[in-house]
Structure 1
Amino acid sequence: MTFLLVAAVAALVTFVASRVVLALALRHGIHPPVRERDVHSRPTPRLGGVAMCLGVLGAFGVASLLPDFAGVFAEPIRIWTLLGAAIAICAVGVLDDLVDLDWMLKLGAQILVAAGVAVLAVQIVSLPVAGLTVPSSQMSIALSILVIVLVMNAVNFIDGLDGLVAGTTIIGAAAFWAYIWMISENFAQRNAYFSLASLITAIIIGVCVGFLPVNWHRAKMFMGDGGALMLGLLTAASAIAVTGQIDLGTMGGRSQILPAFIPILLPLAILLLPLTDFALAVIRRVANGNSPFAADRKHLHHRLLDMGHSHLGAVLIFYAWTAVVSVGCLVFLIQPWWVAVGIMVGGFVVCAVLTAAPVSRRVWRTFLRVLHERRAARRGVRPSRLAATSSDRPGDHR
C-alpha cells in the first residue's frame, strides 16, 4: 500500500501537470516544427518532461513523510543529488527540444550530471557474484558514469512513437520492482523492502502511468528529450543501487549459477531493445562518417513502420518483446532453469512471428499471385491484375 500510494501520487501529479503544461504550450505556441524523421504530421508540444519531473518531485516529497522510507531519507545528500540531477537533465533535454543543442554540449551535460550522481548518490561498488568488487573508487565512478550516460541515451533513442517509452518503461520497471521485492525476502529487516531502488522504481512507474494518457496514439504531447533522459537517469540509478550493493552469492538457494547474475541481466534485459537500437545507431552513423548523435530515420521503430506495421502495432510489438525478456528473467528466480528457458524461447518465437507478420503476409500474397498467374498461363488465359493490396495503396509510408 505504501508503494501504491507513492506511485499514485506520482501518476496524479504528472497527469494534472501534463494537462497544465499542454494547455500553456498550445496557448503560447511552444512546439517545434515537424521534422523529416518524425512519424507525426502535426506540430506537437515536447514538454512532457516538465510534467514528469514535477511528478517525480511530488512523489519524493510524499515519500519523505512516510515512516517506511525513513531509512532512505536518512541520507539526504543522496536524495538531493538525485533530484537535482533529474531537474538538471530534464532542463537540458527541454532546452535541446526547443533550440536543438549541439550534440557535444548535450553529451557533456549528461556526463556532468552522471558524474554528480556517481560521486554523491549511487555507484557500482561491487558485482553481485561472489562479492566481486570494483578495484578502485575511480574505476567505480567511471563505470557508473558510463552506465548512466549509456542508459539515458538508450531510452532517449527509442522515443519515436506515441506511448513507446512510457509503456516499455512501465513494463520493465514493474518487473524490476518485483525483482527487488523478491530478493528483499532474503533479509530479516523490514526496511529491506523500502530501499532507494524500490522507491525510485515505484515513482518511475507512477510517472509513466500518469503521462501515458496524453502520450497515447495520437499523442497530444511528447515527453521529449527532457522526459526520456530523466527516465533513463532514474532507471540507471535504481539498477545501480541494487546491482552495486547486493551480493546474492551470500543468499544461497535461488542465487546459484545463472540466477546469481540476474541483478546484472535484468536491467540489461529490460533495456535490451533501447540498447540494441543505440548500438546499431552509433555503428551506422559512425560508419557513414556522421556524429553518433546525428538524428536519422533508421531506428528500430522506424524499421517496424517500414515493414508494414501500423503505429500502434509497432508500439505493441515493443511492449511484447520487453515483457517477454523482463518476465523471463524473473522466472529464473522461481522456476528451474529449463522451465525459464522454455518460457523465454516460446515468448521469443511468438514475438518473432508477430514482428515478421507484415513481411510474411507480403510473401504469401506474392506466392498466391505467382501461382495464380502460372495457372492462368497454363489455361491460356491472360491473368487479370489482382486488386491492390494495402501496401500498394497511395500514401504508404514505404
Structure 2
Amino acid sequence: MSLALTDLSRYPVVQAPMAGGASGPPLAAAVAEAGGLGFLAAGYKTADGMYHEIKQLRALTAQPFGVNLFMPQPQLADTGAVEVYRHQLAGEAAWYETPLGDPDADGGDDGYEAKVATLLDDPVPVVSFTFGCPSREVLDAFAAAGTFTVVTVTSAQEARNAQWAGAHAVCVQGVEAGGHQSTHRDDPQAGLGGTGLLALLAEVRESVQLPIVAAGGLMRGSQIASVLAAGADAGQLGTAFLACPESGAHRLHKQALTNPLFVTTTLTRAFSGRPARGLVNRFVREHGPYAPAAYPQVHQLTSGLRKAAAQAGDAQGMALWAGQGHRMARELPAGELVELLAAETDAARAAVSGRSTR
C-alpha cells in the first residue's frame, strides 16, 4: 500500500484538512495541481455541503484529492460543567452583543453516517478520519469502492487499532500540530499534552506495517525530509498553507501567524472543549483554564462568539489555530508553496546524502 500512497501525488506533500473554512476547493485544487495531495475538510459541514464542495473541486482539478471526516463523539460531557462555563462566558456574550449557542445543537455525530453514504455512493480518491477510527465494515466498504483510507492517530496504540480495523495508512499527528489534537478518546485526566512528532513517528513505525503521513509543526522542506528519513511516506502541513491566498482562513487569522502580538501557541479547550493548539490571545488566557472537556458542546456554545469577534475585527476573541512553527508561515500562492517545499525537501535530502558519503 505504500506505493498506492505515493501514487496519489507527485511530491510527498499533503495539505492538511483544516475544518472551519480554511481547506476549501480553491486551496485543495491549487495543491493538487502543483503535485501535492489537497484535502477538503468536511467537519462542521452537512453531507450536502460536503458534496457541493467536492463538485466544485472536481471542476477545478482532475488530480487525486482527499476528504476528511470527523468521527462521532460519545456523549460524556458533564452537563453541570458546561452550564458553569456558559455562565463564565456571559460577559463575552454581552461584549460581542450576541447570544451563546445551544450546546446540544449537534448530537456529536457531525452527520457522519450521511457523509459516509455520500462518499460510498460517489467515491473520492482518499478519505481520512479524525477523532477516532471507523469500523472494519466501513473501512472495507471504502476499500471496495476504490478509496484509500487514512486514520489520524496520536499514539502507537491508536495506530495499531487503525491497522487492525483495515485502514490503508495512518496520519501520525505530533503535539506540535495546530488545531485539534486528533486523539481517539479525549481523556481529561491526561491533561493537555502529547508526544512530539519524531518520537511518536518512531514508536508508530515500529508498531505497524502501514504507510505513514507525518503531521505536526512542519513548515519547511527540510522538516519534510527529516520525517521521510524517520520512516514517513509524506509530510502533512496545515499552518504552512493557512497564509496562502487560496486559503479560506479569515484575514485576521492569516495576519496573526506572523504578528508579533501573538508569539506563542498553547493547547486549549477554551473554544471547543477538546484540546486544540492555537495562538495565545485574550480569550485563551481568560477562559482556557476553566473550559471543560466537553466537545462538541463547548464548540456549539462559543460558535456565535467566534463569528462575532471575526466580524468585529477582534483577533483577541477568535480561535487562531496554529502549529508551533507558525512564525515561519510564507504568504505564497499554494502552488508555488508546494513547488518550494518539494525543492527544499530535495535539497535537504541531497545535503544529508552528501555529508554521509564524506
In the superposition, the TM-score normalised over structure 2's length comes to: 0.28
Quick check: which one's helix share is greater? 1
In the superposition, the TM-score normalised over structure 1's length comes to: 0.26
Task: Report the structure number with the largest CA radius of gyration.
Answer: 1
